Amino acid sequence: MDNWNPAARVRGLGTSVFTEMTELARSTGAVNLGQGVPELAGPQGLLDEVAAAVLAGRNQYPPAHGFPALREAVAAHRLQRHGVAYDPQDEVLVTTGATEAIAAALLALCDPGDEVLAFDPCYDAYPAVVRFAGATLVGVPLAEDGNSFVLDADALRAAVTPRTRVLVLNSPHNPTGKVFTDEELAAVAQVCREHDLTVVTDEVYEHLVYDEALGHRTIAALPDMRERTLVISSAGKTFNVTGWKVGWVCGPAPLVAAVAAAKQFLTYASGTPYQEALARALGDVEAWAAGLRLTLRRNRDLLSEGLERAGLRPYRADAGYFVQADIRAWGHSDGVRFCRELPSRAGVVAIPTSAFYVRPDAPSYLVRFSFCKLENSVRDAVEKLVRAV
Ligand SMILES: *Cc1c(COP(=O)(O)O)cnc(C)c1O
């Protein structure tokens, strides 16, 4: 096995900075604001129902496309919230988390040589899966405007080539916490219509927008967009159950059929005890989500104010789990080194935002802190950062 090499599609994907930082948190006992793993519990009724389902023997393969109750609940939720109708029969597919939905969608939509656009920085699964499909991910830089990230419509137009086939949108956005405004969504949709692009929109943070005025909009609701858009979401971030891996994809029947064709040979199907309980929880999601938003918004404010006091200039985060901070006032410009030193210097773990950029000239001075934690963890981290200045 001396000259054995892994296949090109996985080369360089070995140990990520996420694994390294999680291990550092474990070995140093530092407060872990690295990976976006919630410390908060899910709804008690949901947890009880799942426990009962397991004990009642609901432990074998679910239907390949998911239990009808969950597909119906997903369709009802999209219609009620966004006015976009999907047929639960053939326009909704349950997946093993949003991750599998993203993988199956990109495998179903991309041929080798195709180009896929994604706003940069982006969730780290996108470039990996685009590579598995033999396609190329092209990062479209989000511009920095003061303490915000904004769409650069010219950069988007400039990135489109005759090979561009798909645009991946993620709003609310990880890692930045950006919510694309109505104007930005309209500009993105216009480019997709002009160049006949298919859109994959990752909306896993759809319920975690902290600014009421912004709210969550889906690009699928814009004129002529439903027919070219696959909408992906999941239960993990909405109900604090990231270990359950139940997600779903909605879209026009031919696109969903193609995703299902790929998905059946990735996992076939999963999540039997979770699916029907989640169908009921999704029916009541608004009340639950309002409470979760209050908790997370308080944490976001504590973290942002604390970073400010510590001299680590925070960026605006309107949604999601994370705040970016500028580390330059601490005499650092390399986020990777900063994050390696932070556990011993301050007793806190964070993730260098460079891990989310695909373009080589990306800023290296940004670091991502997560606040999907118990309030005490956030307070503890903030005090440690302020003391370490
Ligand atoms: C967490 C996350 C996912 C993964 O969702 P799962 O349902 O856990 O697979 C996908 N996209 C983004 C942007 C995320 O932050």
User: For 47-70, what is the mean pLDDT?
Assistant: 98
Q: Which of 75, 140, 131, 133 is nearest to 259 (CA)?
A: 133
Q: Supply the pLDDT for residue 12.
A: 86
Distance 102 CA to ligand 1 centre (A): 9
Q: CA torsion angle for 50, 51, 53, 56 (degrees, to 10)?
A: 180
Three-state SS at 174: coil
Query: Quick check: 17 pLDDT over 80?
Result: yes
Distance 106 CA to ligand 1 centre (A): 15
Residue 1 has pLDDT above 80, yes or no: no
Q: Which of 102, 237, 278 to mutate to test the pocket of ligand 1 (most atoms within 8 A of CB)?
A: 237
The closest-lying atom of ligand 1 relative to the alpha carbon of residue 101 is: 9
Q: How far is the CA of 101 from the centre of ligand 1 (A)?
A: 10
Whether pLDDT at 43 is above 90? yes
Ligand 1 atom index nearest CA of 235: 7
- pLDDT tens-digit series, residues 202-233: 999 999 999 888 899 999 999 999 999 999 99
Ligand 1 centroid, distance to 204 Cα (angstroms): 6
Q: Residue 46's pLDDT band (boundaries 50, 70, 90)?
A: very high
Ligand 1 centroid–CA 309 distance in Å is 31
**Ligand 1 midpoint to CA 36 (Å):** 10
> Are 65 and 86 in contact, with CB atoms under 8 Å apart?
no
Ligand 1 atom with the shortest distance to the CA of 102: 10
* CA pair distance 59, 54, nearest whole angstrom: 6
Position 15 scores a pLDDT of: 79
Q: Is the pTM of this model over 0.95?
A: yes
Residue nearest to atom 2 of ligand 1 (CA): 204
Residue to substitute in 100, 123, 180, 200 for testing ligand 1 pocket (most ligand atoms within 8 angstroms of CB): 123
Ramachandran angles phi, psi of 168, nearest 5°: -100, 120
- How much distance in Å is there from the Cα of 173 to the middle of ligand 1? 11
Tell me the HSE value of 17 on the side-chain side, using a 13 A CA sphere: 19
| Residue 30: partners with Cβ closer than 8 Å, 6 or more residues away | 24, 342, 343, 346, 347, 348, 349
Closest residue to atom 5 of ligand 1, CA basis: 98
Q: Determine the atom of ligand 1 nearest the C-alpha atom of 247.
A: 7
Q: For residue 318, what pLDDT is reported?
A: 98
Cβ(339)–Cβ(349) below 8 Å: yes
What's the rounded mean pLDDT across residues 291-318? 98
pLDDT at residue 243, as a whole number: 97
Question: Measured between alpha carbons, how far apart are the two ends of the chain, in Å?
Answer: 50
Residue ranges lining ligand 1, Cβ < 6 Å = 97-99, 123, 170, 174, 202, 204, 234, 236-237, 242, 245, 247
Q: Are 140 and 120 in contact (CB under 8 A)?
A: yes
Work out the angle between the directed axes of helices 253-263 and 97-109 (0-180°, nearest 10). Answer: 110
Judge contact between 236 and 245, C-beta under 8 A.
yes
- Provide the CATH topology of domain 17-42+287-387: Aspartate Aminotransferase, domain 1 (3.90.1150)
- Longest Cα pair distance anywhere in the chain, in angstroms? 59
Token pair for 114: 């195709």
Instruction: Quote the CA–CA distance of 43 and 3 in Å, as a whole number.
Output: 51
Domain boundaries, the chain: 17-42+287-387, 60-284
Band the pLDDT of 292: cuts 50, 70, 90.
very high
What is the DSSP code string of 89-154? TTSEEEESHHHHHHHHHHHHH--TT-EEEEEES--THHHHHHHHTT-EEEEEEPEEETTEEE--HH
Residue 351 pLDDT exceeds 90: yes
State how far the Cα of 120 lies from the Cα of 170, in Å rounded to an integer. Answer: 10
60-284 matches 17-42+287-387 in CATH topology = no
Place of tokens 């000239």: 361
Residue percentage of the chain with pLDDT more than 90: 95
Least Cα distance to 221 among 235, 237, 203, 204 occurs for 203
In CATH terms, is domain 60-284 a member of 3.40.640.10? yes
236-268 pLDDT tens trace:
999 999 999 999 999 999 999 999 999 999 999
pLDDT at 47: 98
Instruction: Read off the pLDDT of each residue in 195-206 and give the average, rounded to a whole number.
Output: 98
Residue of the CA atom closest to atom 13 of ligand 1: 174
Which atom of ligand 1 lies closest to the CA of 174? 13
Alpha helices in the chain (DSSP H): 17-28, 44-55, 68-82, 97-109, 125-132, 153-159, 182-194, 235-239, 253-263, 272-283, 285-309, 335-346, 375-388
Cα(356) to ligand 1 centroid in Å equals 14
Residue at 158: amino acid letter: A
